[in-house]
Each structure stands twice: as structure tokens, then as C-alpha cells.
């Protein structure tokens, strides 16, 4: 099956801890994105990457980091600097030249 | 400032009626606008795309209109069914950019 997978489905973070959310796609898409979704605020862009080994900050990058070492993988690390990490995190990808973004099932991050 | 607005109140309609959802934007000149469906705890799923030079687009029971003078898109679901109950998000791309900007979404509830 082709698609985007995210893991884990639920993630718990302790105070001061860094956690990493996984995003993998086998659609051969060039571009990948990370969004954060809070109730009543819609999706906000954290980071995006249009090619391997390159990524750009989105609108709310502070407290987050990413890497893009492989085309199919775009992990997101929520660092201890992110003071309000509780949210639903969505990964998406699209093929260059096409406009539709394909989303993963999401990871819900909760703080203990 | 740039804004995308969708009605934050849920839209309740009866099965068989037409649902109409609104997306208004300010201070954007979008190249195109997209509509996505999101079910609770899941990632958004692409439904329709309409370009700035198109007035209307249809797909089965779905219809989207795009009025760049009014800066508004309307999303219609005809002969609505309880299975259409979900949150519907509009998203637009600013001309010359690749990033999508999402509205907050409107929840649709179709009762039998």
C-alpha cells in the first residue's frame, strides 16, 4: 500500500524531554511538511522540505527541529524549548508540480 | 494581516439537504484554493481544487465556487448523508508560493 505513515499514534512527553515523531512516505514525493493542529486554530506549518538535505522553517518553527536525510523520511523533534507542545501533529507530502497534499494519520502529543 | 475565515460554528442539516460551507480570505491573491475533509483524530483528505481563473468545479455530489472579487469560496454537498459528517477545511496557496495556508475548518453534522 502506498501512503504516509506516522508513529506513534500517541506520544507522552515529560518536562524537559525531547521527543521525535516519525513520518515515512512511499509515494516518491519530493516535498514533505509538518503541521501542528490545535482546537479552533486550524493547521499551522512548522517545517517543510522540498528536497533531501534541505528544509525551511514554517510559521511556528521555534522549539522544533527536523532532518531530511532520505527522501521518504522527515522526522520532527519536539525539543524542551517548546513550552506548549500538546497538540495533534500532521505530516504531509506532495509531488513537485502537483498541488494536492497527502496527509498521514497524525500523532497526538501529550505532556505528563 | 492575511486571514482565512471559516465559520467556527458547526453546521447542522438534515439528510438529503444541501450543505453550504463558506471560506473567506483577506489580503491574499491565491493561485488556487483547495478543500479537504477531516474526520476526528485523522489526517485531512483532499477533495477538490479550484484555480483562480475557474468559477466552479464539480465532483459527484460536491461543488466548489471561487469568487476572487468577493474573496470567497463556497463548498456545497448536495443530497447530504450522515456519512458526510466531518470537518471541512479550506486551504489556499498564495501566488508564487508553494505553501498551503489552512482555514480553521467548519464542522458539518448531517442528521438522519
Which residue in B41, B42, B105 is closest to A42 by CB distance?
Answer: B105
Residue A69 confidence (pLDDT): 97
> Would you tell me how many other CB atoms lie within 10 Å of the CB of residue B88?
23
Q: Which of A66 and B68 is assigned the larger pLDDT?
A: A66
Which residue in B8, B49, B103 is closest to A99 by CB distance?
Answer: B49
pLDDT at B65 over 90: yes
Instruction: List Cα–Cα distances, B89 to A45, A111, B47, B58, B86, in angstroms.
Output: 15, 27, 10, 17, 10
Mutate: best of B37, B40, B41, B43, partner A, most A CBs <10 A? B43
Residue B27 confidence (pLDDT): 84
Residue B29 confidence (pLDDT): 81
pLDDT at B31 over 90: no
Mean pLDDT of B24-41: 91
A34 secondary structure, DSSP code: E
- Distance from C-alpha of B89 to C-alpha of A35, rounded to nearest angstrom: 14
Mean pLDDT of B50-55: 91
- Positive or negative torsion for Cα A92, B36, B24, B109: negative
- Positive or negative torsion for Cα B48, B63, B54, A43: negative
Residues of chain A with pLDDT > 90: what percent? 80
Residue B97 confidence (pLDDT): 61
Mean pLDDT of A18-38: 96
Residue B95 confidence (pLDDT): 63
Residues of chain B in contact with residue A49, where contact means CB-CB under 8 angstroms, are none
A43:B44 CB<8 A: yes
Chain mean pLDDT for chain A? 93
Does the bond joining B43 to the residue before it have cis omega, within 30 degrees of 0? Answer: no
- For B15-97, strand residue ranges (E) read 19-26, 30-38, 45-51, 56-59, 62-67, 72-77, 86-94
Mean pLDDT of A11-24: 93
Mean pLDDT of A40-45: 88
pLDDT tens digits along B85-96: 999 999 998 666
Residue B96 confidence (pLDDT): 61
Strand partners, A56: A48
| Angle, alpha carbons A96-B56-B5 (nearest 5°) | 75
CB B36 within 8 A of CB A102: no
Chain mean pLDDT for chain B? 92
CB B99 within 8 A of CB B93: yes
Which residue in B41, B93, B103 is closest to A42 by CB distance?
Answer: B103
Mean pLDDT of B102-106: 94
Amino acid at each position: 500500500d502506498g501512503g504516509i505513515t506516522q508513529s506513534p499514534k500517541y506520544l507522552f512527553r515529560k518536562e524537559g524531554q525531547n521527543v521525535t515523531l516519525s513520518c515515512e512516505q512511499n509515494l516518491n514525493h519530493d516535498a514533505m511538511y509538518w503541521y501542528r493542529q490545535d482546537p479552533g486554530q486550524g493547521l499551522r506549518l512548522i517545517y517543510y522540505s522540498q528536497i533531501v538535505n534541505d528544509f525551511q522553517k514554517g510559521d511556528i518553527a521555534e522549539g522544533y527541529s527536523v532532518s531530511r536525510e532520505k527522501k521518504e523520511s522527515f522526522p520532527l523533534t519536539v525539543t524542551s524549548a517548546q513550552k506548549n507542545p500538546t497538540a495533534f501533529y500532521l505530516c504531509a507530502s506532495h509531488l513537485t508540480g502537483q498541488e494536492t497534499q497527502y496527509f498521514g494519520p497524525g500523532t497526538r502529543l501529550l505532556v505528563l | 494581516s492575511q486571514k482565512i475565515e471559516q465559520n467556527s460554528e458547526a453546521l447542522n442539516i438534515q439528510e438529503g439537504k444541501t450543505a453550504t460551507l463558506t471560506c473567506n480570505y483577506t489580503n491574499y491573491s491565491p493561485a488556487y484554493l483547495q478543500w479537504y475533509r477531516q474526520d476526528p483524530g485523522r489526517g485531512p483528505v483532499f477533495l477538490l481544487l479550484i484555480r483562480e481563473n475557474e468559477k466552479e468545479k464539480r465532483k459527484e455530489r460536491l461543488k466548489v465556487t471561487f469568487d476572487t472579487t468577493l474573496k470567497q469560496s463556497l463548498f456545497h454537498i448536495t443530497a447530504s448523508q450522515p456519512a458526510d459528517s466531518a470537518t471541512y477545511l479550506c486551504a489556499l496557496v498564495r501566488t508564487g508560493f508553494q505553501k498551503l495556508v489552512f482555514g480553521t475548518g467548519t464542522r458539518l453534522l448531517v442528521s438522519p
